[in-house]
Copies of this chain bind each other. A is one copy, B any other.
Amino acid sequence: MPMPQLSPALLTDRYELTMLAAALADGTSERDCVFEVFSRRLPHGRRYGVLAGTGRLLELLAGFRFGDAELAAVRAQGVDDPELLAWLADFRFTGDVDGYAEGDLYFPGSPVLTVRAPFGQAVLLETLALSILNHDSAIASAGARMVGASCERPCIEMGSRRTHEESAVAAARAAVLVGFAATSNLAAGARYGIPTTGTSAHAFTLLHDDEAAAFRAQVAALGTGTTLLVDTYDVEQGIRTAIEVAGPGLGAVRLDSGDLTVQATRARELLDALGATETKVIVTSDLDEYAIAALAAAPVDGYGVGTSLVTGSGSPTAGMVYKLVERDGVPVAKNSEGKRSVGGRKRAVRRHDADGTAIAEVVTAGAVEPRDGDRDLLAPLVRDGELVDPCSPAEALAAARDRHRVLRQTLPAEAFSLMRGEPVIDTVTA
């Protein structure tokens, strides 16, 4: 009954195979092609984007093969061209991939990934590359705004239950990439070596005969450093009970309902009055970047963020596309209404002022006259099908997290406004 685990090669739109079959038949499948991934615009009102997912894509690339099970699966769907099936059986990616480093910023038109390979190879990667980059970049871009609004207080990702079970793992990764301190998701901890946290739900209190019994059980099992959830019945009584049970050394209380500014202020006052001056106040409950910003002046020590993070805070996909820009060295572009593309393989440079603040994203198929403060944005990721810098998933994430922390310092201050506006730097295409 359980399905065999199929390779990532099947996480692909059927039309990639159809195009490949037709290209094999007329001899164009070997034409040297350059595809670029970019986004025509940022989500409505966002000031910058954060590229995420490149590491996950590179992880999956080696396993992107059509073995017997995958070939049987496509045959069962009526894909029966013998030349195509033979080609797929032998397929392995032998091309080159360049890209923005994961964790870097991006803007409209930024060529965040460039794939150069014979058409047949490059076209096959479209769906998987876009799925990963669109999802992970959407989450990272939303998460970065939350971290920016948090005034350096820790944010914890806890949205697994609000998104597909595997998206949850990728969302946790993207959140940590942009500065979240930890996740609730055990699989993300296992795959990426990131910290996981979690204490208890209302159900744990309701399981017990009374709140005090629940708190005693939790403190006995986890020590007084734990976080007690105090809003199951009455917050004030919950806090009093928590301190009676755990003593003034209790690690934290968690508030998950009501007006969090009011609740947090009252909780802090009460904790202080009870002598629990070091006990932290953690808030959760449908937080997004705006709610986090609104709590800046409240006595809050940490944020648990769920739904809004894993759904991209109103922008659940980054809108990136994968477009053919060069064929046998010739720039090509479509002219479709509202979706015109610019031919030719792009170079991308971020221009900075003397203080190191970003001032422009220069994206051009032509030459760029170098200036002081320019930084080349595209780096080799894959050469002849081999990873340039093989590393573990955990290493890739840690490097991207460090990189993002540094690069976000180069953004102009306006980038961190939550108000809607234009991208904080212009993309210059000349």
Binding site for B on A (CB under 8 A): 1-3, 5-6, 8, 10-19, 21-23, 25-26, 28, 31, 33, 35, 59, 62-63, 73-74, 76-77, 81, 119, 123, 126-128, 130-132, 134-136, 158, 160-170, 184-187, 189-191, 195-208, 213, 216-218, 220-222, 231-234, 256-259, 285, 307, 310-312, 316-317, 319, 322-324, 327, 332-339, 390, 392-393
Contact = CB atoms under 8 A, between A and B. Distances in A.
14 contacts: A11-B168, A13-B186, A25-B217, A28-B217, A74-B190, A77-B195, A127-B165, A130-B161, A130-B162, A131-B162, A134-B162, A206-B324, A206-B333, A231-B337
A8 B119 CA distance: 37
Given A6-B190, A22-B221, A324 B202 contact: yes
A216 B25 CA distance: 11
Contacts of A218: 18-19, 22
A374 to B, nearest CB: 31
A221 B77 CA distance: 17
Contacts of A14: 184-186, 189, 196-198
Contacts of A336: 202, 231-232, 256-258
- Quickly give the copy total for this chain: 2
A105 to B, nearest CB: 21
Contacts of A81: 221
B202 A337 contact: no
A62 to B, nearest CB: 8
Given A207-B327, A324-B203, A216 B26 contact: yes
Contacts of A31: 207
A284 to B, nearest CB: 11
B13 A161 contact: yes
B11 A187 contact: yes
A161 B131 contact: yes
A81 B218 CA distance: 13
Contacts of A3: 190-191, 393
Contacts of A208: 28
B257 A323 contact: no
Given A31-B207, A81-B221, A73 B165 contact: no
A167 B167 contact: yes
Given A186-B17, A204-B22, A316-B316, A233 B334 contact: yes
Given A11-B168, A165-B8, A184-B14, A22 B222 contact: yes
Contact of A165 (B11, B21, B392): B11
B207 A324 contact: yes
Interface centre among A164, A199, A204, A319 (most CB of B within 10 A): A164
Q: What 8 A-B pairs come out closest when comparing CB atoms?
A: A15-B198, A14-B198, A258-B337, A130-B161, A73-B190, A257-B336, A22-B221, A166-B166
A164 to B, nearest CB: 4
B207 A337 contact: no
Nearest to A73: B190
Contacts of A393: 3
Contacts of A217: 22-23, 25-26, 28
A326 to B, nearest CB: 9
Contact of A163 (B1, B12, B134): B134
A158 B256 contact: no
Contacts of A206: 324, 327, 332-334
B123 A203 contact: yes
A317 to B, nearest CB: 4
Given A31-B207, A167-B164, A22 B220 contact: yes
Contacts of A324: 202-203, 206-207
